[in-house]
Amino acid sequence: MKRIFLFAVISLLVFGLCSVGFAGSKEEVGKPSELPITTSSMDDLIAKAKEEGTLVSYGLPDDWVNYGGIRKILENKYGIKTMDTDMGSGTIISTLKSERNNPVADSTDLGFNFATVITEEQLSQPYKNKYWDEIPDFAKDPNGLWSAAYWGTIAFTVNTDIVKNIPRSWADLLKPEYKNMVCIKDPRESGTANMMVLAAAYANGGDVNNIQPGIEYFKKLKEAGNIKPVRPSTSAIQKGEAPISLFWDFDGLSKKYSLGMDSLKIVVPQDGTVAGMYIQFIAAGAPHPYVARLLIETEYSDEGQIEYAKGFVHPIRKSVKMPADLKAKFPPEEDYKSVQFVKDATVLGKAAKEIAEGWNEVAAIQ
């Protein structure tokens, strides 16, 4: 299953990648796309997409933020055949680079951390969907090279069959009653856990430029004996081995409803947390450029944004109204007021490296 923010994100951002030429098409490697940056007629776009007939994607499996639902729109509404190869972010980047002289993929989906890599490596081609003005400036490239369709936030997934007093903040987790209850992944290996430390930093007076409060917080949590040496996997949660799990809200919500565990409560920490965005773009030299554009239009349409929400992530377009029954599955909207958006991918990459290095201090505590 696809993940975001794999640890490969950190190394790619920190150490960089060598620049090479831009592949605009199979026939004209090294030249940018000749296609317009915006679509003047959706009818014309749909007609040309139907002629191409196929979408080839990387990292859009059915169970990742409900990409199955989005791809079904292309298949059922427009008769487009879709073919996806599931792979992690690091593999997607290396594959796009290796195929730049003979492109295969039309589109993909990556964590915001990769935005700088995408632009510097010229792995995308410009396109602005018709909802472009509704996308916040921090969630899109000004030249149309990428944009973010949805986001999630670091939260607590609490098994109320085990934890009777639900923690509401990072400060709460330090209490003795949560001894040997908090399950986390290693931020040196997991990008999600890396963002977890950043969220704790925001809650304790730090930010993306000052991650040390997050490291100090987890030192205290470990010294208190509250960290349980169990990774918060689906199996561990299902077996009751992970009383409190720290990861994305959509991870917790997905487990709650897929496992049928009404006992799971997803809590957005009220003393601070961070959002994680995911970007979409058309691959440089996409073999099916019109289908790729139709995919982007679908992802940002009302219909597509609601399909994302069915995967328990938050649509980027605030004007989209979720059905009441779907919205009720999320934590209350007011709980998300504590969420901070990190708006600079380069700074985020630097913070990720510092967190990974700083975690050695936490790991050393016996």
The β-bridge relationship of strands 54-58 and 244-248 is unpaired
Alpha helix segments (H runs only) across 274-337: 289-300, 302-310, 324-327
Predicted local confidence at residue 33, as pLDDT:
54
How far, CA to CA in Å, does 57 sit from each of 71, 109, 297, 330, 352? 10, 9, 15, 29, 28
Predicted local confidence at residue 16, as pLDDT:
38
Predicted local confidence at residue 89, as pLDDT:
84
How many whole angstroms separate alpha carbon 213 and alpha carbon 4?
24
Predicted local confidence at residue 301, as pLDDT:
98
Domains of the chain from N-terminus onward: 7-150+277-327 (3.40.190.10), 152-275+331-363 (3.40.190.10)
Cα–Cα nearest to 155, from 165, 164, 146, 167:
167
Weakly modelled stretches of the chain, pLDDT under 50: 1-32
How many whole angstroms separate alpha carbon 23 and alpha carbon 31?
6
How many whole angstroms separate alpha carbon 137 and alpha carbon 133?
9
Q: What is the pLDDT of residues 297-332, one digit of tens each?
A: 999 999 999 999 999 999 999 999 999 999 999 999
